[in-house]
């Protein structure tokens, strides 16, 4: 890897961090194909760099999102219980489940949800209903300040058991396939639990770092993290994520969805491609 290529990777990573921090995903979906296609990086090292990029996006943007009360820390911590145990089970299951089948299944789910997101594009806030008994017991009702509209927007988590199960699956998938699964996390919070889009993406952003940290040690030990690639990726993604965290306040929930949909389509197609044995 030449130092000139390192500079190219750095610039590409800024874009990945920017999109990832706004959409609540790790940016691995952008980092991996660009590294392998344009920079000829070995897929193994590209995945190692992607894990680093997930943690960088998460930590870089979460600092601002937490301070500005867009991240719901209780929702995040409660659901991390599902994602971390799911990730451990997924890592243990990796030996007995055929990944090709999983990729195809997930790809189909993700593409379907892209369609659902499109139909919901016009929705700025989910309908406000009275908090359920479970939401009260788990304190999963709160509000976030929408600076663009100058409003304090109240919300309450719906269908909490379904959200928890979906999060467990998201964790298991990241343990199995070694991906951040931010896409599945946003879908669980937005579609199943009906949290506002910005809260869903900021809370997903908060959570993906922990999911990735659980598998990062394994990648590091395996020798998949090469600083010559991971260093420019980490720096670029951090910078992009910090810029993204400032931008979130000035865009609408609808715009966040508009950024999220192409990410969904790209992830869905990549998974189906992997399931069919095509290398991307």
Measured in Å, how far apart are the chain's first and last C-alpha atoms? 20
Q: How far is the CB of 85 from other proteins (least distance, A)?
A: 6
Q: How far is the CB of 202 from other proteins (least distance, A)?
A: 12
Q: Are 233 and 49 in contact (CB under 8 A)?
A: yes
Q: How far is the CB of 196 from other proteins (least distance, A)?
A: 18
Q: How far is the CB of 159 from other proteins (least distance, A)?
A: 19
Measured between alpha carbons, how far is residue 177 from residues 39, 101, 204, 268 in Å?
23, 11, 18, 14
Measured between alpha carbons, how far is residue 226 from residues 128, 229, 273 in Å?
48, 6, 26
Nearest Cα residue to 159 out of 122, 126, 183: 126
Nearest Cα residue to 182 out of 155, 203, 163, 161: 203
246 sits near other proteins (criterion: CB under 8 A)? no
Binding to other proteins (CB under 8 A) within 170-229 occurs at 209-210, 212-218, 220-221, 223-228
The single residue among 21, 50, 84, 205 that binds other proteins, judged by CB under 8 A, is: 84
The single residue among 60, 163, 178, 196 that binds other proteins, judged by CB under 8 A, is: 60
Q: Among positive and negative, which fits the CA dihedral 119, 121, 123, 125?
A: positive
C-alpha neighbours within 13 Å on the C-beta side of residue 60: 32
Quick one: 30 or 245, whose CB is closer to other proteins?
Answer: 245
What's the CA gap between 238 and 241, in Å, rounded?
5
Q: How far is the CB of 253 from other proteins (least distance, A)?
A: 22
Q: How far is the CB of 5 from other proteins (least distance, A)?
A: 12
Show the site string, 11-40: x = touches other proteins by CB under 8 A, - = not.
------------------------------
Residue ranges binding other proteins (CB under 8 A): 3, 6, 45, 48, 52, 55-56, 58-60, 62-64, 66-67, 69, 73-74, 77-78, 80-81, 84-85, 87-88, 91-92, 138-139, 209-210, 212-218, 220-221, 223-228, 230-232, 234-235, 238
């Amino acid at each position: 890897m030449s130092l000139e290529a390192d500079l190219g990777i750095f610039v590409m990573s800024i874009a990945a961090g920017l999109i990832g921090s706004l959409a609540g995903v790790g940016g691995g979906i952008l980092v991996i194909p660009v590294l392998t296609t344009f920079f000829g990086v070995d897929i193994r090292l590209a995945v190692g760099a992607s894990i680093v990029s997930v943690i960088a996006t998460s930590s870089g943007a979460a600092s601002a999102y937490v301070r500005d009360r867009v991240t719901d820390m209780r929702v995040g911590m409660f659901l991390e219980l599902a994602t971390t145990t799911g990730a451990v089970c997924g890592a243990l299951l990796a030996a007995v489940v055929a990944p090709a089948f999983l990729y195809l299944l997930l790809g189909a789910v993700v593409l379907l949800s892209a369609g659902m997101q499109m139909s919901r594009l016009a929705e700025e806030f989910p309908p406000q209903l009275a908090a359920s008994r479970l939401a009260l017991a788990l304190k999963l009702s709160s509000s976030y300040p929408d600076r663009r509209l100058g409003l304090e927007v109240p919300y309450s988590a719906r269908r909490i058991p379904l959200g928890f199960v979906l999060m467990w699956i998201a964790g298991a998938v990241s343990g199995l396939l070694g991906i951040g699964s931010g896409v599945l996390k946003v879908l669980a919070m937005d579609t199943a639990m009906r949290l506002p889009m910005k809260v869903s993406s900021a809370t997903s952003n908060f959570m993906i770092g922990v999911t990735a940290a659980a598998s990062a040690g394994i990648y590091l030990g395996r020798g998949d993290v090469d600083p010559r690639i991971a260093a420019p990726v980490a720096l670029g993604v951090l910078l992009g994520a910090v810029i993204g965290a400032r931008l979130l306040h000035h865009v609408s929930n609808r715009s966040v969805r508009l950024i999220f949909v192409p990410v969904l389509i790209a992830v869905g197609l990549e998974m189906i491609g992997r399931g069919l044995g095509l290398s991307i």
